[in-house]
Amino acid sequence: MNDATRRGLAELSLSFERRYGATPLLFRAPGRVNLIGEHTDYNDGFVLPAALDLATFVAIAPRTDRLIKVHSANLDRSFTFDLDVAQERRRDWSDYVRGVAVELGATGHRLPGADIAIWSTLPMGSGLSASAALEVAVGYALMSVAGEPIDRLELAKASQSAENAFVGMRCGIMDQYISCHGIEGCALLLDCRSLEATPIRIDSRARIVVANTMVHHQLAGSAYNERRLDCEQAVAILYKAIDGVAALRDIDTAQLEMHAHLLPGRIARRARHVVTENARTLEMAAALEAGALETSGRLMNASHASLRDDYEVSCPELDLMVDLARGAPGAYGARMTGGGFGGCVVSLVEATAAESFAARVAPAYEKETGLAPVIFSCFPAAGAGSVAI
């Protein structure tokens, strides 16, 4: 944790005491950057995310009644709800918080009322999964004050359900899983069907650099759910032609080529992205393990092309940032990361060139777009837990 975060946490704790008159316990849950394997999680496929040192922090103290009082320092907004009153979607940030409490309650946990203050060092809506960090941090904190042992997989699933059912975003398990299970210094190769994860250590000769385009196109939420429907349509057609197809994960590139004529054009392109992306993700995990950084970079570049052309979830700002990133000295490869339509680009960069990378890319991006991007190197962090200051 850096000094600025430590100071922010001390401020969170103080403001909690002023607001609620009690000393809080503190918890954190990280955001994430996905190195490769985009839009594959909800197809039972493979992903390769790393938890970030940027995180959402929750200060919490139990109450004697059944109320949950919540304040977000980032938004300077508050709300209160009653654990004994049925909750409905409100289409605002409270959905993430109320959703997690409801989902944990539905899995049989008796949560106490609580006072909560939230503060995050993650940018919101930038594809670094501030939403999952919020869900997981709140869930972890509530389970802790309930005095219940925390099953990380169960917490990840309850958080995903909260986003699916309450927010109406049909996200896969990746974001919540990595926020719960991150390992310092490693990305995780996650099989989203078996939920088995293999830690992949990031080579010390390389840095993961994130560049925020500072745009977030409104399309993101609706387009995400549309892509899921396209994938479901592909499976509905292909399972009649190929034995044992329950998800796009079950098809390899040769099988898809053989049966692509059965699919309408758009659906065929969506399926091709998912099928080739699964293969690239497995290849990149192997390449990173073998220290093959050039190969890793090439796979990231191919992933971006597939997301742009076949899955159609990129945008001009992401394409520009990717081009600039690849042109920087020491860059192995770059791609959009997260759902798309804005947000961040992730690059794999030679460690010695990571500093000059931002100095090279940021002015060029600003010159073209008029937007000042935020660019930073990240060190993979551990998953959710308690924090001491």
- The residue ranges that bind ligand ADP (CB under 6 A) are 56, 72, 74-75, 93, 96, 118, 120, 124-131, 134, 338
Contacts of Mg ion in 131-150 (CB under 5 A): 131
262 forms beta bridges with none
Helix H or strand E segment including 282: helix 265-289
Distance CA 384, CA 28 (A): 5
Q: How far is the CB of 243 from ligand ADP (least distance, A)?
A: 37
Active site residue 175: yes
Place of tokens 């994130």: 210
Name the residue among 285, 301, 277 with its Cα closest to residue 50: 285
- State the Rg of the chain over Cα: 21
Q: Which is nearer to ligand ADP, 54 or 284 (CB)?
A: 54
Residues in the chain: 389
Task: Indicate which of ligand ADP, Mg ion, none lies near residue 134 (CB less than 5 to 8 Å, by partner kind).
Answer: ligand ADP
Amino acid at 97: V
Report the alpha-carbon distance of residue 101 to residue 25 in Å, rounded.
Answer: 18
Residue number, 131 or 276, with CB nearest to ligand ADP: 131
Size of the site for Mg ion (CB under 5 A): 2
Q: 94 or 281, CB closer to ligand ADP?
A: 94
Q: Looking at 44, 115, 175, 250, which residue is catalytic?
A: 175
Which of ligand ADP, Mg ion, none binds 75 (CB below 5-8 Å, type-dependent)? ligand ADP
Instruction: Enumerate residues 114-133 that contact Mg ion by CB under 5 A.
Output: 129, 131
Name the residue among 89, 110, 167, 125 with its Cα closest to residue 339.
125
Closest CB 52 distance from Mg ion, rounded Å: 13
10 Å Cβ neighbour count for 307?
Answer: 22
Residue 338 binding target from Mg ion, ligand ADP, none, CB below 5 to 8 Å by type:
ligand ADP
Please identify, using beta-carbon distances, which residue of 124 and 146 lies nearer to ligand ADP: 124
Nearer to Mg ion, 131 or 281 (CB): 131
Looking at the DSSP bridge assignments, the partners of residue 375 are: 211
We find the least distance from the C-beta atom of residue 80 to Mg ion, in angstroms, to be 24
Binding partner at 142 among Mg ion, ligand ADP, none, C-beta below 5 to 8 Å by kind: none
Picked from ligand ADP, Mg ion, none, the partner binding residue 8 (CB below 5 to 8 A depending on kind) is none
Helices (H) and strands (E) in the chain, counts: 11, 13
Distance between CA atoms of 144 and 151, rounded to whole angstroms?
11
* Angstrom distance (rounded) from CA 373 to CA 316: 14
Shortest Cβ distance from residue 134 to ligand ADP (Å)? 4
- Show which residues are catalytic: 175
Q: Which residues bind Mg ion (CB under 5 A)?
A: 129, 131
